[in-house]
Amino acid sequence: MSMLNTHELYLSGGGDENQSSPLDSFFFKNLPVNGKFLYIPIALRGNRLYETVVLWIEKVIALHQREDVTFELWDSIDDKTYSDIAHFDAIYIGGGNTWSLMKEFKAVHFDEAIRTFLKEKGPVYGGSAGAIIMGKRIDTQDDENSIGWVDMDGFGMVNNYSIACHFHEEQHGKFRDWSLSHKLPILCLSEETGVVITASDMRCVGTKSCYIYRPDGTVTNLSDGEHITFAKE
């Protein structure tokens, strides 16, 4: 498996702080007393919501009653390496535009820092775009590609799975066809659900099911608490 992490990776399908609350609780429960995490909301840069990201993350922290926890916000990852993040207890990568987020991450090979952090230090959370980039491919969404990004490869940190977020049941046919045409499995997450991933398995967390479409045409429906084990590579 390509993600040889010893800490958990949390991937959220998106939505507001109430919709993602079941998954978020895992993230905050894993933070130590008086812990500090890194918040990277750069996928929202250029969006009017970018002005509200501090208030939003503070609301999430309060919702989970972790007022002892602090965070540092980065509005750029230019020239950042693992040594710059090693002192944090966790990393939280927010949603927004998948194309621009991937461009910034790949420009500085920040996936390498994330891989090392998962193995050596602590958990990583990816919401929406922050979740999609962790998958095998990133052409699983309909974000505006105003930068003309053409590299469809994600970080491949979830075995061989690609990730789709903001999923709703009317998209069954779309992602079944995506899996068949790309010959890859795809994990589809609604705004009310997410997954907790280790090096050996993936568990669904939330009020709606996680759907996995495979290139042999089969579909797996995981309810809250159900998991699958990754095949050893």
Q: What is the pLDDT of residue 195?
A: 97
Identity of residue 129: A
pLDDT at 5: 56
pLDDT at 230: 86
Rg (CA), the chain: 16
Provide the pLDDT confidence category of residue 232 given band limits of 50, 70 and 90. low
- Look at residue 2 and tell me whether its pLDDT is greater than 90: no
Q: Which two tokens stand for residue 35?
A: 């812990």
The tens digit of pLDDT for each residue in 177-186 reads 999 999 999 9
Q: Find where tokens 């068949």 sit.
A: 180
Strand 186-188, strand 193-197: pairing: unpaired
Q: What is the largest CA-CA distance in the chain?
A: 48
On whether residue 35 sits in a domain, the answer given is: yes
pTM of the model: 0.95
197 within some domain: yes
CATH number of the domain where residue 200 is located: 3.40.50.880
- 94-116 pLDDT, tens per residue? 999 999 999 999 999 999 999 99
* Contact predicate 11/22, CB 8 Å: no
Which tokens hold the place of 209? 């099911």
Q: Which residue range forms the structural domain that includes residue 128?
A: 9-229
Question: CA-to-CA distance for 50 and 166, rounded, in angstroms?
Answer: 19
User: CB under 8 Å, gap of 24 or more: what pairs does 45-53 form?
Assistant: 45/75, 45/96, 45/100, 46/97, 46/100, 47/96, 47/97, 50/96, 53/94
pLDDT at 194 over 60: yes
DSSP state of 42: G
Picking from 70-74, 119-123, 137-141, which range would have the lowest pLDDT averaged per residue?
119-123
Q: Express as a percent the part of the chain with pLDDT over 90.
A: 92
Confidence of residue 1 (pLDDT cuts 50, 70, 90): very low
Query: Per the domain annotation, does 2 fall within a domain?
Result: no
Q: Does any domain span residue 3?
A: no
Q: Decide which of 19 and 230 is more confident.
A: 19
**Total tally of structural domains belonging to the chain:** 1
CA 79, CA 73: separation in Å to the nearest integer?
Answer: 16
- Tell me, yes or no, whether 19 lies in a domain: yes
**For residues 57 and 155, is the Cβ–Cβ distance under 8 A?**
no
> Could you tell me if residue 216 is inside a domain?
yes
Q: What is the mean pLDDT of the chain?
A: 94
* 152-179 tens-digit pLDDT: 999 999 989 999 999 998 999 999 999 9
User: Is there a contact between 22 and 196 (Cβ–Cβ < 8 Å)?
Assistant: no
- Predicted local confidence at residue 199, as pLDDT: 86
Tell me the pLDDT tens digit for each residue of 3-51: 445 689 999 999 899 999 999 999 999 999 999 999 999 999 989 999 9
State residue 4's pLDDT score: 46
Question: If pLDDT is split at 50, 70 and 90, which confidence band does 231 have?
Answer: confident
